[in-house]
Amino acid sequence: MILVTGGCGFIGANFVLDWINIVKEPVIVLDKLTYAGNINNLDSLRHSPELIFIKGDINDPPLVESILTQHRPRAMLNFAAESHVDRSIRKPDDFIHTNINGTFCLLENARQYWQHLSGNEKEAFRFLQVSTDEVYGSLTAQDPAFSETTPYHPKNPYSASKAAADHLVSAFHHTYGMPTLITNCSNNYGPYQFPEKLIPLLILNALQNKPLFIYGDGLQIRDWLYVKDHCEGIRKVLADSPIGETFNIGGNFEKTNLEVVHTVCNILDQLKPAKHSYKTLITHIEDRPGHDRRYAIDSKKIQTKLNWQPTETFESGIRKTIQWYLDNLAWFDTLKNNNHYQNWINSHYKESAT
Ligand code: NAD
Ligand code: TYD
């Protein structure tokens, strides 16, 4: 079996659902269930004998040790993180606790566990760190896309904490020979994304006839990848990569935030027409401090070495995603009425708008 941390969050849940469906190998999910973790994301596996769920913190050494000793996973995949840049700007503390110290705790326990394995078990063990393209910093319009050799240059507390974690993972490989892998992926979108991130927030606000907030001029660029393509990339890296390698994963679908919001509005205008086009809700507000201007991923390495390709274009993936949210309004409703979520939206956007 494998151990997946953060398996109740957006990407982790998609990964676990696909893993059990496609690979059919048991999974232990370790998740603290922070505001971003939602056990209902794994509802369809509620009665599955393949899923073991443990509520807990990755930064709890005795807990991590006992999980490894008891369940003896053949691989650990770390998706657990504080993941929202705006929250990291307001209050970085949890980002240090989970993204840096939590990753260190997993690595230390993995090291003890791995060192005591032998034979095939030791040979086969892997520690895979799920990371982000944001560790590379920000590009200008003319810069080439990030490759695996681009130096790290993180510019906000979230990306700095993820960069620190990646450095620890690499250091454990170089120092102790640990069989680690790192994936650095671009912006994901798809089912089960917490509606504080751009795309699900736009959909949720549009459906409630609320403003669609765009920071600054909206010409910042992100490279968007459908979440299930990211999950497939991770499966390929885990299965086929030599140890110690890093892979960039991206869709090569660079879009400005204005292009994204227009696309979302156009599709909603077709699928759920309102009196006026949803575009009338677009509202520019003060820019994010230190806002990274452009991210772009060069994913040639994973394409050529591991034969990975995205299956969705941005146009097909975003349409599927919007249809999923329309078909799962009950999923939105529970979050919409959650006090913690409402407080974030009210305070963040009220202050941004002034
Ligand atoms: P998310 O915020 O939706 O989910 C994070 C999950 O981790 C939640 O279930 C949460 O409860 C859990 N968690 C947080 N702190 C924990 C702790 N201390 N112990 C145990 N569990 C804890 O995040 P996501 O968007 O699914 O991102 C998953 C990973 O992928 C992160 O490492 C993120 O940096 C990376 N990533 C995200 C994107 C993206 O676009 N969302 C892109 C590239 C990489
Ligand atoms: P986000 O989904 O937070 O991802 P990240 O900051 O990790 O790339 O934001 C994506 C882009 O959308 C980013 O340039 C910030 C911008 N954005 C807005 O313009 N308005 C919003 O309300 C949010 C949440 C993001």
The verdict on residue 354 lying in a domain is: no
At 354 the pLDDT is 55
The verdict on residue 6 lying in a domain is: yes
Spatial separation of the C-alpha atoms in residues 308 and 306, rounded to whole Å:
6
At 79 the pLDDT is 99
Distance of CA 42 to the CA centre of its chain: 16
Which of 31, 57, 82, 133 is catalytic? The answer is 133
Beta bridge partners of 215: 285
Any residues with Cβ below 6 Å from ligand 1, and which?
5-6, 8-12, 30-34, 36-37, 57-59, 79-83, 98, 102, 130, 132, 162, 185, 187-188, 194
The full length of the chain comes to 354
The verdict on residue 201 lying in a domain is: no
- Dist. CA 350 → ligand 2 center (Å): 16
The verdict on residue 334 lying in a domain is: no
CATH number at residue 240: 3.40.50.720
The verdict on residue 135 lying in a domain is: yes
The verdict on residue 277 lying in a domain is: no
At 66 the pLDDT is 98
In tens digits, what is the pLDDT along the chain, a chain of 354 residues? Answer: 999 999 999 999 999 999 999 999 999 999 999 999 999 999 999 999 999 999 999 999 999 999 999 999 999 999 999 999 999 999 999 999 999 999 999 999 999 999 999 999 999 999 999 999 999 999 999 999 999 999 999 999 999 999 999 999 999 999 999 999 999 999 999 999 999 999 999 999 999 999 999 999 999 999 999 999 999 999 999 999 999 999 999 999 999 999 999 999 999 999 999 999 999 999 999 999 999 999 999 999 999 999 999 999 999 999 999 999 999 999 999 888 888 999 999 999 987 765
Residue 351 a catalytic site member: no
* C-beta of 257 in contact with ligand 2 (< 6 A): yes
pTM of the model: 0.98
- Dist. CA 211 → ligand 2 center (Å): 15
Between helix 198-207 and helix 329-336 the angle, nearest 10°, is 90
Residue 158 a catalytic site member: yes
Closest CA to 225 of 288, 292, 299, 291: 299
Residue 134 a catalytic site member: yes
The verdict on residue 231 lying in a domain is: yes
The verdict on residue 285 lying in a domain is: no
**Domains: count for the chain:** 1
Spatial separation of the C-alpha atoms in residues 214 and 83, rounded to whole Å:
19
Atom 29 in ligand 1: residue holding the nearest Cα: 79
Spatial CB neighbours of 55, under 8 Å, sequence gap ≥ 6:
31, 32, 33
Q: Are 108 and 61 in contact (CB under 8 A)?
A: yes
Range of the domain at 180: 2-190+227-252+295-312
Query: For the chain, give me the number of helices (H) and strands (E)?
Result: 14, 12
Which of 31, 57, 82, 134 is catalytic? The answer is 134
